[in-house]
Every structure is written in structure tokens, then in C-alpha cells.
């Protein structure tokens, strides 16, 4: 790097760090596995903020409630080399006629918001009555999040982890074709590219099957195998875990050592780069989990999601830090656990979902509160697609919800089931017990007349940003 460029980047870095230390900038980690609702959440959050002045839907967001918000705007992002988050496109889809959900995310993108507010600080409000808070958010495919754990694991340790997972159903049966093929390879022999490519393809097929709606598994590594992004077809994705660890490694160009080298290259060139550029420093975090999905599928999907989220959360830096330390090292000091798509249940079930999510993530919860991090758990819907209603069933009035299912054109009323207050035993996860269907986004007469309909987005905003104003 030449001197001028290096001075320029150092000064940018210093400005950014100072801004963050003095509460003028917040980098928000929107953490969630694939399909948990990240893109919809980011879109709704931006929509709520840029329509905040005429937004009657944010009573719990205190800066608005106190009438101190001056407005919010999307401004140029800090890193011009990263694609911009396509907010306009997402809103066009969500609020179109017919409305549609955004496509699954296939690459990284970034957005920056400037939020103007009147200061209430007794010392600064006369000197600088109007302040600006910059909010940075990135969006990325949820699959990639699972790779962060690889940074801690050698190729052999990672392979052992996968072997243990494949010992149990449904992975045992689903991995059969890959395992049969792999078992025929002498991994200490000289590597044949075509055979290696085939082994890696069969492993990738196995991951795709695990991910399918039928099995709904989430702990799928490496993440780029199911969402390759711009690495599609690259040799760096051509490897797979070992089924056994041989005593001999073979020649330098053996299957074993070739796959080990590819794994290490994947870790360094793909995962570490992703981590360093986008995940190394955050101030605030929201963890989005689609817990309702696990009810529809069953106990294995539940344990898989629970383990995947708890695992992912070990990759972030947590802790309460004072001003001085914040100038040198930023850590997450507030973390919100959010059960998404809460519009899939009747309003009286919201506290049950929150309780359920708490039980699911109690390990991670304990670890972060130990570090002094403030946490909260909320059931949210970034875009509310249903209305609460009542219906008569066997002579009794029961609560239900009304919305347009994803594969239908007209609304239906349905009773989705009650969320248990305890995690059910494995044998009690019966398929017929729950009926959480996917809904179409609501049709809106005026996209710009206030924020999108939601559940508890204002509480989420208050928790994540409220103290910064």
C-alpha cells in the first residue's frame, strides 16, 4: 500500500473508531441462519426509520415517542468495494402488487443510514442541538455464518465433527451415497481430480438434501457448498471431510493432503477474509431464529438449529467496555434474541415463543451475560402478514389468525397451535401438532404512509439503538 493510501485508510479507521466510541456510529450484526428473516428484517428496519416522522407504528421507540427524531436517510456506505444492499428492490418486491418476498441472499451487501435527532444531553444540547447517528448493517447468506466455527478447527477435527453428525439419522441415511463412494478411495494414493470432484459433489448433494424442507437441518458446513456465491465451480470448494483419519498421509499430492490443503485455503482465503472484513467488530447484535419452522419439522430440526446458533455465537466478541477501551477494541455490549415470523401465531402465544427461544439459546445467553452483555428476548415480525381473529370450534370461541398462504390467493383463518412452555420430549414432536404455514406479504395501499406493519419492531429498535440518542 502506498503511503498516501495507507494514511487515508488509517484516518478513515480512526474517524470510524472515534465515531463509534462516542456513540455517533453503530455497527449492527444481524445474525441468523439461512431463511431466518435477515433480509426482510433489514428492509423493514430501514422502512420503519425512513418513515419514522409519520410512523404511528413505533410507540416503544423512545426517540420518536419524545418527538426528538428529525428523520433518517440512506447515505453512501463506508466501503465502496462492497455491493450496496438493494433496499429499493426489496421494498418494490414486498410492496408490489402482488407483493413478494425477496429472493434468498447470494452474496454480501452493505447499507448505511444517517439518523438525525435532537439531543437531550444537558451538556451538549446547547452546543450541538442536532446530532447524527450512523447505522451500518450488512446482509449476507445465512449459510456462510456456519463457517465461522471452522476458524477454530483443523481439517481432522472438523472431519471428526462431521463423522459424529453422520452417525445419527437422518444424516446417516442421507450421507450413504457419499460415504459409499468415499470409502472406495484410497486417500493416501495420488489424488485424481475427477474423483475428488465427484466426492465433493456427492457431499454437496448430501448437504442440499439435509437442507431441504423435508429435513430442515441447519448445521451444514462448509457454508459455501450450499451457497457458493461467486465461488461457484472454483477448485477451492472441491474437497470434503474425511470419513476416517489415516495413519499415513501419503505423498504430498495424495487425496488426503490435497483435501487438507484445500480446507486450509478455504479457511484462510474465504472464511477468515469474510470474518475479518465483516464480522470482526460489531457494537450491537440481533440474533434472528425461525423457531416455528422447527415445530413443523420435528425434534432433529430443533436440536440442529439450537446447536448451530449456539455454535455461531461463540465467534463474536462480547463484553462491556469503557470509553478508553472502546477506542481500541469494540465489542458487542447488547444482544437481542429475536424469534422471527411471530405473525404466524396468535398474539397470546408471543410470550410462549419468547420463552421457548430463551430455553433454546440458554447456553449462549449464559455465556454472553457472563461477559456483562445486556440481553433481551423478543418475538417479532418484521412484516406482519396476518390479523388476529376468532372462530368457533366445537361450540367454543377460539383465537386464530387470518392471512393469505403463500400458495393461495385468498385469506384463510387458521389455528396454528400452541407453543409449548417447555421443550417437548423427542417423542412429543408430532407432525400434526402444529400448523405454521407461510404467508404472502400483506397488500398495502400506500407504501410510504408510515412503516410496514410489524410486531414489536419498535421494541427491537429501542433495545438496539434507544440509548444512543
Ligand X SMILES: Nc1nc2c(ncn2[C@@H]2O[C@H](COP(=O)(O)OP(=O)(O)OP(=O)(O)O)[C@@H](O)[C@H]2O)c(=O)[nH]1
Pick from 387, 439, 444: which is nearest to 51 by CA? 444
In the complex, what is the shortest distance from the CB of residue 383 to ligand X, in angstroms, rounded to a whole number? 4
H/E element, 333: none
Nearest distance, CB of residue 436 and ligand X, angstroms: 9
Residue 254 contact, options ligand X, Mg ion, none, Cβ 5-8 Å cut-off depending on partner type: none
Give 102 or 241: the residue with its C-beta nearer to ligand X: 102
User: Cis ω on the peptide bond leading into residue 176 (within 30° of 0)?
Assistant: no
Which is nearer to Mg ion, 200 or 218 (by Cβ)? 218
Nearer to Mg ion, 213 or 392 (CB): 213
Q: Is residue 105 part of the contact set for ligand X (CB under 6 A)?
A: yes
- Of these, 16, 31, 37, 200, which contacts ligand X (CB under 6 A)? 37
Please give the Cα distance from 270 to 266 (Å, whole number): 5
Q: Which of residues 17-46 bind Mg ion (CB under 5 A)?
A: 38-39
Residue 416 sits in the site that holds ligand X (CB under 6 A):
no
Any residues with CB less than 8 A from the CB of 4 and at least 6 apart, and which? Answer: none
Task: Decide: is 87 part of the binding site for ligand X (CB under 6 A).
Answer: no
Query: Out of Mg ion, ligand X, none, which partner does residue 96 contact, by CB within 5 to 8 A per kind?
Result: none
Handedness of CA 50, 54, 60, 65 (dihedral sign): positive
With CB under 6 A as the contact rule, the residue among 16, 51, 77, 102 that binds ligand X is 102
Cβ atoms of 383 and 371 closer than 8 Å: no
The binding track of 79-108 with respect to Mg ion, each residue x by CB under 5 A or -, is --------------------------x---
User: Beta strands 25-32 and 284-289: pairing type?
Assistant: parallel
Peptide linkage before 363 cis (omega within 30 of 0): no
User: Is residue 32 a contact residue for ligand X (CB under 6 A)?
Assistant: yes
Least distance to ligand X, CB of residue 105, Å: 3
Residue 417 touches which of ligand X, Mg ion, none (Cβ within 5-8 Å per kind): none
- Our CB check for Mg ion shows the closer of 38 and 171 to be 38
Binding mask 362-391 for ligand X (x = CB under 6 A): -------------------xxx-x------
Specify the stretch interacting with ligand X by CB under 6 A; choose among 19-27, 298-306, 340-348, 364-372. Answer: 340-348
| Long-range contact pairs involving 276-281 (C-beta distance under 8 Å, separation at least 24) | 278/108, 278/138, 278/140, 279/29, 279/148, 279/315, 279/316, 280/317, 281/27, 281/317, 281/329, 281/330, 281/331
CB of 38 to Mg ion, least distance (A): 5
Three-state DSSP class for 131? strand
Are β-strands 374-379 and 334-339 bridged in parallel, bridged antiparallel, or unpaired? parallel
- Cα–Cα distance list, 93 to 88, 112, 280, 441 (Å): 9, 21, 32, 10
Interface with ligand X (CB under 6 A): 32, 34-40, 101-102, 104-105, 141-142, 340-341, 343-344, 381-383, 385, 438-439
Amino acid at each position: 500500500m502506498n503511503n498516501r493510501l495507507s494514511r487515508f485508510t488509517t484516518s478513515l479507521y480512526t474517524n470510524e473508531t472515534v465515531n463509534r466510541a462516542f456513540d455517533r456510529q453503530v455497527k449492527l450484526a444481524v445474525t441468523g441462519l439461512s431463511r431466518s428473516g435477515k433480509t426482510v428484517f433489514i428492509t423493514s428496519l430501514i422502512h420503519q426509520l425512513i418513515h419514522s416522522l409519520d410512523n404511528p407504528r413505533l410507540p416503544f421507540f423512545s426517540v420518536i415517542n419524545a418527538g426528538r427524531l428529525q428523520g433518517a436517510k440512506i447515505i453512501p456506505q463506508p466501503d465502496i468495494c462492497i455491493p450496496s444492499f438493494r433496499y429499493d428492490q426489496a421494498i418494490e418486491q414486498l410492496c408490489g402488487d402482488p407483493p413478494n418476498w425477496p429472493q434468498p441472499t447470494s452474496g454480501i451487501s452493505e447499507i448505511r443510514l444517517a439518523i438525525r435527532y435532537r439531543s437531550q444531553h444537558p451538556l451538549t444540547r446547547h452546543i450541538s442541538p442536532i446530532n447524527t447517528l450512523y447505522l451500518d448493517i450488512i446482509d449476507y447468506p445465512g449459510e456462510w455464518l456456519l463457517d465461522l466455527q471452522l476458524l477454530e478447527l483443523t481439517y481432522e477435527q472438523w472431519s471428526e465433527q462431521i463423522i459424529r453428525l453422520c452417525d445419527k439419522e437422518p444424516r446417516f441415511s442421507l450421507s450413504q451415497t457419499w460415504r459409499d463412494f468415499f470409502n472406495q478411495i484410497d486417500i493416501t494414493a495420488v489424488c485424481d481430480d475427477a474423483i475428488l470432484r465427484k466426492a465433493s459433489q456427492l457431499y454437496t448433494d448430501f448437504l442440499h438434501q439435509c437442507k431441504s424442507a423435508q429435513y430442515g437441518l441447519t448445521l451444514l458446513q462448509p457454508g459455501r457448498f450450499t451457497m457458493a456465491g461467486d465461488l461457484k465451480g472454483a477448485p477451492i470448494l472441491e474437497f470434503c471431510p474425511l470419513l476416517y483419519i489415516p495413519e499415513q498421509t501419503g505423498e504430498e499430492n495424495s487425496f488426503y493432503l490435497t483435501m487438507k490443503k484445500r480446507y486450509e485455503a478455504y479457511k484462510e482465503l474465504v472464511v477468515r477474509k469474510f470474518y475479518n472484513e465483516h464480522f470482526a467488530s460489531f457494537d450491537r447484535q440481533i440474533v434472528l431464529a425461525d423457531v416455528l419452522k422447527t415445530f413443523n419439522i420435528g425434534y432433529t430440526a430443533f436440536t440442529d438449529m439450537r446447536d448451530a446458533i449456539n455454535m455461531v455465537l461463540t465467534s463474536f466478541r462480547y463484553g462491556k467496555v469503557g470509553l478508553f477501551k472502546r477506542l481500541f477494541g469494540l465489542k458487542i455490549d447488547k444482544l437481542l434474541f429475536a424469534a422471527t415470523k411471530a405473525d404466524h401465531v396468535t398474539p397470546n402465544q408471543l410470550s410462549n415463543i419468547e420463552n421457548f427461544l430463551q430455553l433454546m439459546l440458554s447456553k449462549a445467553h449464559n455465556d454472553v451475560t457472563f461477559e456483562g452483555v445486556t440481553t433481551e428476548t423478543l418475538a417479532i415480525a418484521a412484516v406482519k402478514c396476518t390479523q388476529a381473529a376468532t372462530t368457533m370450534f366445537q361450540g367454543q370461541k377460539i383465537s386464530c389468525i387470518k392471512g393469505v398462504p403463500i400458495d393461495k390467493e385468498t385469506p384463510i383463518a387458521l389455528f396454528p397451535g400452541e407453543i409449548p412452555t417447555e421443550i417437548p420430549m423427542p417423542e412429543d414432536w408430532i407432525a400434526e401438532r402444529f400448523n405454521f404455514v407461510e404467508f404472502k406479504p400483506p397488500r398495502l395501499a400506500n407504501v410510504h404512509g408510515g412503516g410496514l406493519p410489524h410486531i414489536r419492531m419498535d421494541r427491537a429498535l429501542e433495545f438496539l439503538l434507544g440509548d444512543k440518542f
